Structure formats: C-alpha cells, structure tokens
C-alpha cells in the first residue's frame, strides 16, 4: 500500500535524492522500471573526517542525576538499636530503585520516581554487628563484649545496650573493637551488595561507609565514598572513630587507601550540631590551621552535605540578618547529643556560607583554602528509606515513621522532637553518564548541587565571554562550558579587570511547586581582611521587581493548611537569566553560588495533620519553601 501511494518509498534513496532537487518520480510502470532515468547531479562525497550528525561533532554534554549519598540501614548500630530491623541493605537498594518496601512500622513505602544513584553509608563502628549478634553469630558470641550485648538484646534492655554502645564507639580499647574476622566478613558483604545492585547507565550503587567522630558530643561525622567497584573497596577496611576521632587521621587513612589503588573522598555533614568544631580555626589538637592542612582538607573533602534530616546548614539568621530566607529548618539548640548547649560564638564555624567566607581569608593568609567545597544534600535517614519529599517523608528512625503520634516522639527517644526533623535532602550531579566513576568525578570537580527534597533542575555558569542573549539559546549549556566554567569552577582575573557574568537556569520539579525566585549569594574579602556577603534577587517570578530597599515583594501563598494542598497559580515553572555583579571589585576574592526558592507548600507535618486528622501546636511549622543550593564559583584576583 505504501509503494502504491508513494512509489518513491519503494525505490530507495535515489528517489529521495531526486525529490530533494525537485525531480519527483511520477507514479507508473515506466518510472518504477527505470528509476535512474532522471538525470541526477554527481554526488559529493562527504569528508571522512567530518561528521554531519551534531552529536558526533560536539562533546558529550553532562546529564543531571539525583541521588542520596548518606543513608543508613539495619547494619548501622544506632539504626538497629532504634528499631530498624526489617530494612536491610537489600530493601534499601530496592526502595531507591523505585520498588515498594514495607517500613519497619509496617507502613508500605514507595518513591514517586526512582533515584539515579545511592550510597548506603552505614556506620563503620560495629558495622553489621547487631543483626549478626541477634542471630547468635558464633564468633560474636565468643567475644566478651558481644556476649554482654546479646544478653541486653535478649532481655530487651535497650537503654543499657545504648549506653554501652555510646561508650564504646569512640574508645581506642582493643577489647571493644569488632573481631577482625567479622569486620572483614561484613565489609566484604557490604561491597558485594553494592556490586549486585549496581546497573551502569540505569542505577548506580556506590560503596561507602560513615566515620562517626563526635568529640564530647560535637559532630564531626564524615561519609567516605569509593570510586571503584566492590573488589577495589575490599582491598581495605573502613577507618573508624575507634582508630581516631581526628579528621586529619581520616585523611591520612584515605591517602593510604590511595597507595593501595583505592580511590575515595570524604563528605562532612551537620556542622550545625558540631558546636563550632566543623569549620573551627584550629585543628583537633589545638593548632592554628596551616597551608598543609588547608590543601589536605580541600583535596579529600571536595563537597559538603549542606542539608539533611537534622536541619539545614546553609546559614543562620544571626549570621545573615539581612537574608530573609536565612532561618530555614534551623537546628541550634546544641551539639548532636544535646549534651552541651549552643552559643552564638559557635555559629560562624558551623554553617556553609560563613565557612566559605572564612575560606577566602585563609587563602589570602596561607595560599590555600581549606573550605573550597561544593554543595550537595542527602538524607542521613536511618530507616533504610531515602525519602526527602514533604508528602512522602518516613522520618529519621522508626519512631518517626508515619503515624498519628510521630510528631511528638523524640529522635532516638531522648533528642530533638520529631516535628523538628527536616524532609531533606538530595544530591544532584552533572555527569556524562550514570556510573560510579562519572558521579565520583563530578563530586571531585564540584559540579554538583544540593536540594532540600525537590528535584529542581539547575544550571550555573560563570565567565567573561557570555552575551546577554546566550541564556536564551537552546545550546546555552554548550556556550557555558566553552566560554566559562560550571558550578564548582574557578575564575581568574580578566586582563582588563572586568566583572565576570553568570548564566543561571532553573526549572521546577515536574511533580513539585513553581519557583518563587533565583538568587545569587556572594561572599567577598576586602583589603582589610574583613568578609562580607550579599544576596541578589536575579530572577523573580510573576513579573515582580526588586524595590528600592533591595527586596522583592513576597510571592504569596496558595497553601490550604486544613487540606494540605497548594496550587501552581503563582510562581513560574522556569526562571533563567544572565547576570553581572554590579558591585564587583577586581581586587577582592569572592565566591558566588545560586539559591533557588520554591513557592510555599505544605510541610510534612501539615500533611500528617490532614491525613491523620490531628492538630499540632502553633510552634510546629505549617508551610515550607524548599530550595536548591548550587556549588559556588570562585573568583581569584
């Protein structure tokens, strides 16, 4: 039928070539019998070195992948002791891949969309010990500490085993360490599990663990990620807080890994509960930071986990009083164990923005920046269920899994109230493919950003060769890479001292709220060594303009608190702009990062109130404006 209606379909490419120059072959027997009767110009042979197809002529552009690089399962001792028993690494991987899984409280759970990658980072200290102990593992029951702990478990004496575990986790006493054979066996299992679920190009399972240092209850935790496969990871063993609680010793251990052919990096988190230790001006031993320290830290810790379930770590309202969005999911009561209260003097050494500013001072003084880090988010959830959405949040531990009373429970029974938990966050990476190597390399070069749960799509480029209309072009990203640097990059001084310009493009989560605004956060160092910051509204939704006071009017709210709903009748689904720093001084070191703010939506506590038909006190927030934080671009004069 096709040949009768369109005879040129039956005669191959000759008729197509003829039609291209206006010589359509008429329908009929003669035409079909002698399709070459028409005169066709001589074919020009293309050069073998030239590719006609555009994808062959241009480098492979990076793709966007979302994942979680900080998740705990029943193999983490604190997760197990707080009730995570059913969700093992197997269930956690399946959940991240989009399959339905039952939470430990029996509630079915499923992601709206699968993650692209996951790192299960169970605590290195007593990794996998408690599930084996409960099964009366022979080696562990011969271990005196294991036999004691098994008795506590069998008698359901949770408080006693919790205290014993807390006392042992950072002790250097050899008798308190996991037996060598168990340690090796569990680590091999962890590495093999990651290999079993890894699907290059579809789903990436990175090998990892968490180093759990907390000196006097002050959080210094780091996640350690491996670039290679399970076989590579099995060449070494996890470095624990029982080996040392000093981050410098962890970095030294990672150097030893590297000598064994094992490539790793570390990611710090929760400076907000470190009581000033995370970005302190002195080392653990009390020495001022020096250039060697700065170079080592920036090498091994290229990104920082800026947001997660235990609060947001971008900035604090006391540090950024002119920033109307600074007070976001703020945790500032004390350290991670609430054993010591917080003081205002600690705050500058706890938050990402202030640390980035301090990094500029160190670079001038030392010639190296210890705090030149990119941004990611992750969950740090201990349920095995990576949930960062306000309407699909399964808490920190099983006591904060969905129920009509979870909001008034306390984290780990004695810490913060569960309503304070933050439904956050996600790590976003720009990489050429979804593989371990590509994701790891994106983290190393800091082409990453963090979100507080939404899958906001964000691009950020800086350079000296951008034109204002470049952001409107379909290939603006190619222009960004060719004429500038992406998020995480560095810019030197232009020969004429001109200010750099930036391209920003943000698109809302297709399942989430519209965008309120795009902001550029700038920090800089003046000639007297003082640091400064300013937040610029560079793209506003709904046609709003910045007023004379430098502020934009609020976007408004469509949230119906009683029914836990909102709509996208306000805000914009996409915001893009070209921007140049109007206050640029070529002599001043600076950094720039993008913050994207969504319109208000119901917070997870509001969804709970509507779903369970309950009320909560007025102090419990009803709405939230989720956001994304890009990695900075640094300017070096």
| 42 Cβ contact partners less than 8 Å away, ≥ 6 residues apart | none
User: What pLDDT, on the 0 to 100 scale, is given for residue 43?
Assistant: 55
**What integer pLDDT is reported at residue 45 of this predicted model?**
61
* Residue 98, C-beta contacts closer than 8 angstroms, at least 6 positions apart: 110, 111, 113, 114, 115
Q: State the residue for tokens 């076989």.
A: 231
pLDDT, one tens digit per residue, over 231-249 is: 999 999 999 999 999 999 9
- The pLDDT, as a whole number, for residue 110 is 99
Residues 6+ apart with CB under 8 A from 64: 428, 429, 430, 457
Q: Which parts of the chain register pLDDT below 70?
A: 1-50, 58-60
> Chain centroid to CA 382: how far?
17
Q: Read out DSSP for 147-176? A: HHHHHHHHTT-HHHHHHHHHHHTT---GGG
- How far is Cα 542 from Cα 544, in angstroms, rounded to an integer? 6
Q: What was the pLDDT predicted at 5?
A: 37
Residue 42: per-residue pLDDT: 54
163-208, pLDDT tens digit by residue?
A: 898 889 999 999 999 999 999 999 999 999 999 999 999 999 999 9
Give the Cα separation of 98 and 112 in Å (integer). 8
Among the listed residues 248, 255, 224, 252, the one whose alpha carbon sits nearest the alpha carbon of residue 238 = 224
Where helices occur in 376-501 by DSSP H, the ranges are: 436-445, 476-483
Tell me which H or E stretch contains 92. Answer: helix 89-96
Which of 259, 168, 160, 254 is closest to 212 using CA atoms?
168
User: Contact, 387 vs 109, CB < 8 A?
Assistant: yes
- List alpha helices for 124-265, DSSP H: 129-134, 138-142, 144-154, 158-168, 180-197, 230-233, 247-259
Q: Which sign does the torsion angle of CA 110, 564, 425, 456 carry? A: positive
pLDDT score at 35 = 36
pLDDT at residue 49, rounded to an integer: 63
CB neighbours of residue 141 within 10 Å: 15
- Which residue shows structure tokens 């991987």? 93
The domain ranges of the chain are 2-41, 64-127+180-445, 489-635
At what angle are helices 291-300 and 247-259 packed, to 10 degrees?
Answer: 60
Query: What are the Cα distances from residue 139, in Å, to 88, 147, 232, 365, 600?
Result: 21, 10, 26, 53, 54
Which tokens go with 484? 């500038």
- Which of 580, 575, 569, 563 lies closest to 635 in space, CA to CA? 580
Name the CA radius of gyration of the chain, rounded: 28
H helical segments located in 245-351? 247-259, 291-300
User: How many CB atoms lie under 10 A from the CB of residue 62?
Assistant: 18
* Residue partners of 78: CB distance under 8 A and separation at least 6: 72, 123, 165, 382, 412
Coil, strand, or helix at residue 361?
Answer: helix
Do residues 308 and 324 make contact, with C-beta atoms less than 8 angstroms apart? no
pLDDT, position 47: 57
């Amino acid at each position: 039928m096709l040949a009768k209606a369109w005879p040129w379909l039956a005669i191959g490419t000759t008729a197509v070539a003829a039609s291209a120059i206006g010589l359509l072959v008429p329908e009929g027997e003669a035409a079909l019998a002698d399709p070459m009767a028409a005169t066709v110009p001589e074919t020009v042979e293309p050069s073998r070195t030239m590719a006609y197809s555009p994808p062959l002529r241009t480098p492979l552009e990076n793709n966007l992948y979302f994942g979680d690089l900080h998740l705990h399962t029943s193999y983490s001792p604190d997760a197990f002791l707080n009730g995570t028993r059913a969700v093992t690494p197997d269930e956690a991987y399946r959940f991240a891949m989009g399959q339905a899984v039952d939470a430990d409280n029996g509630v079915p759970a499923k992601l709206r969309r699968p993650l692209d990658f996951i790192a299960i980072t169970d605590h290195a200290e007593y990794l996998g010990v408690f599930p084996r102990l409960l099964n009366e593992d022979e080696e562990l029951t011969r271990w005196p500490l294991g036999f004691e702990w098994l008795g506590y478990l069998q008698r359901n004496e949770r408080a006693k085993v919790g205290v014993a575990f807390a006392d042992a986790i950072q002790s250097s006493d050899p008798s308190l360490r996991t037996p060598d054979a168990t340690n090796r066996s569990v680590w091999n299992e962890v590495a093999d599990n990651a290999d079993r679920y890894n699907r290059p190009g579809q789903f990436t399972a990175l090998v990892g663990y968490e180093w759990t240092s907390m000196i006097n209850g002050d959080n210094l935790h780091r996640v350690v990620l491996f670039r290679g496969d399970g076989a590579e990871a099995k060449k070494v063993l996890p470095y624990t807080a029982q080996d040392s609680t000093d981050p410098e010793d962890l970095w030294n251990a990672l150097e030893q890994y590297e000598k064994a052919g094992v490539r790793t990096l570390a990611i710090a988190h929760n400076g907000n509960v470190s009581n000033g230790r995370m970005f302190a001006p002195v080392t653990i031993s009390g020495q001022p930071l020096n250039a060697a320290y700065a170079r080592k830290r920036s090498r091994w810790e290229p990104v920082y986990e800026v947001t997660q379930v235990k609060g947001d770590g971008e900035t604090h309202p006391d540090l950024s009083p002119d920033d109307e969005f600074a007070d976001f999911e703020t945790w500032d009561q004390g350290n991670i164990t609430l054993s010591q209260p917080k003081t205002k003097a600690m705050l500058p050494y706890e938050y990402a923005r202030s640390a980035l500013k301090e990094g500029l001072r160190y670079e001038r003084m030392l010639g190296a920046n210890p705090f030149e880090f990119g941004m990611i988010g992750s969950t740090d959830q201990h349920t095995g269920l990576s949930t960062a959405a306000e309407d699909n949040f399964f808490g920190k531990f099983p006591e904060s899994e969905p129920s009509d009373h979870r909001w008034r429970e306390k984290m780990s029974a004695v810490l913060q109230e569960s309503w304070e938990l933050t439904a956050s966050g996600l790590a976003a990476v720009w990489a050429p493919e979804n593989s371990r190597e590509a994701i790891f390399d994106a983290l190393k070069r800091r082409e990453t950003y963090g979100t507080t749960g939404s899958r906001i799509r964000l691009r950020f480029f800086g350079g000296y060769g951008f034109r204002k209309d470049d952001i409107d072009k379909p290939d603006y990203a190619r222009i960004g890479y060719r004429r500038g640097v992406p998020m995480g990059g560095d810019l030197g001084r232009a020969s004429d001292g001109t200010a750099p310009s930036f391209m920003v493009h943000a698109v809302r989560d297709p399942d989430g709220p519209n965008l309120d605004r795009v902001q550029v956060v700038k920090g800089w160092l003046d000639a007297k060594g003082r640091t400064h910051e300013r937040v610029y509204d560079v793209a506003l939704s709904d046609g709003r303009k910045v007023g004379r006071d430098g502020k934009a009017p609020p976007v408004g709210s469509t949230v119906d608190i009683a029914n836990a709903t909102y709509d996208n009748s306000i805000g914009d689904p996409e915001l893009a702009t070209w921007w140049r720093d109007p206050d640029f001084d070529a002599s001043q070191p600076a950094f720039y990062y993008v913050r994207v703010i969504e319109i208000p939506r119901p917070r997870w506590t509001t969804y709970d109130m509507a779903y369970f038909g309950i009320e909560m006190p007025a102090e419990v927030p009803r709405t939230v404006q989720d956001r994304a934080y890009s990695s900075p671009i640094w300017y070096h004069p």
